Structure 1
Amino acid sequence: MTDAIDKAAGLSPEDALYATRRFRPEFVDGAELCRLSVLKPANDQGLAADLRLALAQRIAALNADHALVQDYAAQLAQGQPTPTVLALAAGETRLAEPLATLARHVDFVTLTPASAEAGDIRRLEAAGLTSPQIVALSELIAFVNFQTKVAAGLRLMELS
């Protein structure tokens, strides 16, 4: 089965690298389960699917991963995203709260993760996010950044 990382890397079942990934099926399965848990969890903690997809698209764009940007944009378009959610996905920064704080946090953690500190979490709390929402947001940020790095590495290996 082709997973989202294969798709992002442009791998197909005929590729040797696709088969190589299957030497560790627990990693392939685990990454796919993680993707589903951050994008379509059973309990969204008040962070709706369209918001999650918009943030994922934004993170992919910050990582200059055009394949993932297109994939997340297509998934987002399947729903009924509001113009505000589409603006968030497109990288807009002039947004109403709490989206403005979410956007700043996603951008900051994606671009300068080593600079993150406790005060960044306090800003999310001040914007009205609950602890479960902050955890869910952190998981989403971590996964999409992981996904972009793995897909980029696989693309480089495919070129070799």
Structure 2
Amino acid sequence: MIDAIDKAAGLKPDDALFHARRFRTEFVDGAEACRRSVLTPEHDLGLNAALRLALARRIAALNDDSPLIAEYDALLAEQQPDGSLLALAAGESALPEPLATLGRHSDLITLTPDRADADAIRRLEQAGLNNPQIVALSELIAFVNFQTRVAAGLRLMRSA
């Protein structure tokens, strides 16, 4: 099975790196399970799939990851998002709440995680997010940043 990281890295079943990833199938399976759980969880906690995909696309763009941007664009389009979610995905900042706060927080954690502090969490709470939603948002941000880094590393290995 080709997973999302294989797709983002451009790996195919006949590539040596594709098989090298399968030496530790628990990592491949775990990454794919994590992807599903942060993008389309069984219980979305009020953070629907379109919102999650818009944020994922935004984070992929912050990481300048063209293959993942394209992947998230396609997945987001399937959700038929409204204009505000498309603006969030595109990295815009002039957004209605809570989207503006979600975008700023995603940018902060992706670009300057060392600047994150308790005030960042308070801003999410002030925007109306509860603790389970903040945890879910944190998991989403962490996963997409992880995904971009693993895919970038695999692309580098492939080009060597």
Interval of TM-score (by shorter of Structure 1 and Structure 2): over 0.9
- CA deviations on 1:117-140 (whole Å, 9 max, x unpaired) are 111000000110010100000000
Aligned residues: 160
Q: Which residue of 1 aligns with 2:68?
A: 68
Name the SS for the 1:106 alignment partner.
Answer: helix
Q: How far did residue 115 of structure 1 move? A: 1.4
Name the SS for the 2:43 alignment partner.
Answer: coil
TM-score, length of structure 1 as denominator length: 0.99
2:110 matches 1:110: yes
Q: How far did residue 111 of structure 1 move? A: 0.1
TM-score, length of structure 2 as denominator length: 0.99
- The correspondence of residues 17-36 of structure 1 with structure 2, limited to 5 A, is 17-36=17-36
- The correspondence of residues 29-68 of structure 1 with structure 2, limited to 5 A, is 29-68=29-68
Q: Which residue of 2 aligns with 1:125?
A: 125
Of residues 136-145 and 111-120 in structure 1, the stretch that sits farther from structure 2 once superposed is 111-120
Identity of aligned residues (%): 69
Q: Which residue of 2 aligns with 1:11?
A: 11
- CA deviations on 1:97-119 (whole Å, 9 max, x unpaired) are 11000000000110001111111
Q: How far did residue 76 of structure 1 move? A: 0.4
Name the SS for the 2:23 alignment partner.
Answer: coil
Return 5+ residue gaps in structure 2 as ranges. Answer: none
- CA deviations on 1:68-95 (whole Å, 9 max, x unpaired) are 0000000000112001101100111000
Which 4+ stretches in 1 moved above 3 angstroms?
none
Name the SS for the 1:24 alignment partner.
Answer: helix
Q: CA RMSD in A?
A: 0.4
CA distance in 1, matches of 2:6, 2:80: 27
Q: Which residue of 2 aligns with 1:93?
A: 93
Return 5+ residue gaps in structure 1 as ranges. Answer: none
CA distance in 2, matches of 1:84, 1:97: 10
- CA deviations on 1:53-78 (whole Å, 9 max, x unpaired) are 00000000000000000000000001
- Code of the aligned partner of 1:44: D
